[in-house]
Amino acid sequence: MKTASKIYTGLVMLFLFAPIAILLVFSFNDSKSLSVFSEFSLHWYRELFRDSETLGAVRNTLVLAVCAALLSTAMGTAAAVGIHKLKSRYMRAVMDTVTNIPMINPDIITGISLMLMFVFVGRLFGAATSLNFATMLIAHITFCLPYVILQVLPKLQQMDKALPEAAMDLGCTPMRAFLKVEVPEIMPGIVTGLIMAFTLSLDDFVISYFTSGNGFQTLPIRIYNMTKKTVTPKMYALATIIFFVILFLLLLSNLTDADTVQAVRTAREKKKAKNKA
Amino acid sequence: MKKTLSVLLCAVMLLSLCVLSGCGSSKTLTLNVYNWGEYISDGSEGSLDTIKAFEEWYAATYGQKLKVNYTTYASNEDMYAKLASGAVSYDVIIPSDYMIARLAKENMLLPLDFSNIPNYQYIDESFRGLSYDPQDLYTVPYTYGVVGVIYNANVVDEADAGGWELMWNEKYKGEIVQFNNSRDAFATAMYKLGIDVNTTDRAEWERALAELKTQAPLVKSYVMDEIYNMMESGEAAIGAYYAGDYFTMLDAQADGVDLRFYYPERTNYFVDAMCIPSCCQHKELAEIFINYMLSEEPAIANAEYIYYASPNSLVYENEEYREELGEEAVAILYPDIEDFSKLYNSYAYQNLDPETLGFVNTLWESLKIT
């Protein structure tokens, strides 16, 4: 039984990580081949850093993801606070449903409908082109928003309602009570929402595909467009770099998480010890 | 407090709407170029970065800064969808022949002013009057190519090579790959049987289908891009593809694989050409760009990067370029250039009418099901 479960775990790991491992190995291949590993070299990494179009696409993708994540987090947090304060249960159900629509809608429908709307509005204003960075940003905020709300709302519900009330009793203005008491309480939700929005925006293809305009192309679209000829191993090099950067960030965030959890625990234990004494 | 905040938010929203619709469009010169992915020399492997070179050349010649917005697409159909959405504006596009015919028919192309494109003189006479643009109004050819048969000489007997028959040879059962799109797959059968690939006669299409059905048991799989890996690794031994792509495979072939290439008697030709779509905003600038692409240095750099044949005499008559390619590659890439327009107009695909196209697709599905 135990060996079976070990084999099962091993297989799962294999299927999860074998593709990444192959990509990693062949990014160091000297030739273009995907079947023969001829010689170890950093050739494709050098090529990657010489390719200004691809680096431009990477920059575009990052700028878009950072902007979309920050804006959607700010808007989503505000929306979550608003929904939480709603008194009528009926209204709350309506708001929940409405915010969830972009999340359950298939990407392709969101993409096409956003594109149609941008074109329609653009025509209304008589502009020759209606798709650009701003439209892509709006599209990305649209699909990130529900995820942020979904992360922040439960934290608000978990929070003790008496906390901000107590702060206001002690002389805080409502704004100050919100910033000093509520925000720190729901911070983990906000941070998770931010990270989720960032990653969602980073690897979105379908919606970006429909809403991208003349001058602004993101990395997923650029890679997709290489399929007339074969995708060059430069892209394996790029994927490897992105993989390690994300791995590093993940480790960092997990480590800091573990640190805070540990810190909270020791503080609690100290308190207990004090109380006993 | 609440009211002022919501009024403020509304104002921000409206303002962004204004920005989005282009109220604040900037005054710097920009040229929007829309091309296939990996279809221009981009500075890798020590080659010329054509786009950057054009920007520098323009600034030096006209004393004005110019930014090229270069974006890419994966297929003619993707490009068409973007263009037809009306949401974008491109100044130069480089579609394939059949798509050019369709765009011209739908009034989506602007006639070129050839006085702005003096380098057009270097395009060989045999590339004029091609069926997709019979009066040479809209297009300047960029690349062209010919479909041929690729085979692994370690598996295939030299004596069997030579015609389309190789793809129907029972000796090589399970070694053959066929195109996974209706037009290309049917064409192989039609060239083999000597049928006109642009026929509207349904009986002829049915004959081609019967031929494909006899081939089906021999076929390993129906592929498009996957052909690169299958041929390079030796997984498959026979397949048809473009001459330029054969060299890509040759570059990456595994040990024990010996890829060779030949042209059957009747085959398909394609041309990708530069055009100016009707949504263009800087027509003269676009023509200057096209003209620059035809000048010697960028044209050679592009031809070396893309590895497709160039219709530009500055390229194929250039000694250094021919040397760089090698004799064998030149012979394969540039066959029978004198008769190109005649061969092209009799064998290349033309846009089929929707009814025939629909009929062909039903036949194709019936092949794929069985």
Mean pLDDT of A144-166: 92
Does residue A180 carry a pLDDT above 80?
yes
Does residue B24 carry a pLDDT above 70?
no
**What pLDDT, on the 0 to 100 scale, is given for residue B13?**
64
Mean pLDDT of chain B: 89
* Closest A-chain CA to B18: A125
Structure confidence by residue, pLDDT tens digits, B213-250: 999 999 999 998 889 889 988 999 999 999 889 998 88
Hey, where are the domains in chain A?
Answer: 53-232
Segment (H or E) for A208: helix A206-211
- pLDDT band at residue B21 under the 50/70/90 scheme: very low
- pLDDT band at residue B338 under the 50/70/90 scheme: confident
Q: Hey, is B103 helix, strand or coil?
A: helix
- Which residue from B52, B85, B229 is facing A115, i.e. has the nearest CB? B85
Check: CB of residue B201 under 8 Å from CB of residue A4.
Answer: no
Block residue for tokens 């431009």: A56
**What pLDDT, on the 0 to 100 scale, is given for residue B282?**
92
Structure confidence by residue, pLDDT tens digits, B78-130: 899 889 888 888 999 999 998 999 999 999 999 999 999 999 999 999 999 99
Interface touch B20/A132, C-beta < 8 Å: yes
Interface touch A134/B19, C-beta < 8 Å: yes
CB atoms within 10 A of CB B196: 13
Q: What is the reported pTM?
A: 0.84
CB atoms within 10 A of CB A153: 23
> A210 CA to chain B: closest CA distance, Å?
8
Does residue B22 carry a pLDDT above 50?
no
**What pLDDT, on the 0 to 100 scale, is given for residue B118?**
96
Q: Which CATH number fits the domain B145-269+348-369, given the four candidates 3.90.226.10, 3.30.365.10, 3.40.710.10, 3.40.190.10?
A: 3.40.190.10
**What pLDDT, on the 0 to 100 scale, is given for residue B4?**
67
Q: Is the dihedral of CA B121, B122, B123, B124 positive or negative?
A: positive
Q: Please give the class, per CATH, of domain A53-232.
A: mainly alpha
Domain(s) of CATH 3.40.190.10: residues in chain B: 29-144+271-335, 145-269+348-369
**What pLDDT, on the 0 to 100 scale, is given for residue A229?**
73
Segment (H or E) for B29: strand B29-36
Does residue B321 carry a pLDDT above 90?
yes
Q: Which CATH number fits the domain B29-144+271-335, given the four candidates 3.30.450.20, 3.40.190.10, 3.40.50.2000, 2.40.50.140?
A: 3.40.190.10
List the structure tokens of B97: 């022949």
- Which residue from B43, B49, B252 is facing A31, i.e. has the nearest CB? B252
Structure confidence by residue, pLDDT tens digits, A183-211: 999 998 999 899 899 989 988 999 999 99
Rg (CA), chain A: 24
**What pLDDT, on the 0 to 100 scale, is given for residue A123?**
86
Burial class (CB in 10 A: 0-12, 13-18, 19+), A80: buried
Residue numbers in A near B228 (CB within 8 A): 230
What is d(CA A271, CA A275) in angstroms, rounded to the nearest whole number?
6
The DSSP letter of residue B162 is S
Q: Select from B4, B88, B231, B232 the residue whose CB has the most chain A CBs within 10 Å, as the one to mutate to test that interface.
A: B88
Segment (H or E) for B166: none
Tell me the residues of chain B between 28 and 47 that have a Cβ less than 8 Å away from chain A: 30, 32, 34, 36-39, 42-45
- pLDDT band at residue A246 under the 50/70/90 scheme: confident
Check: CB of residue A24 under 8 Å from CB of residue A240.
Answer: yes
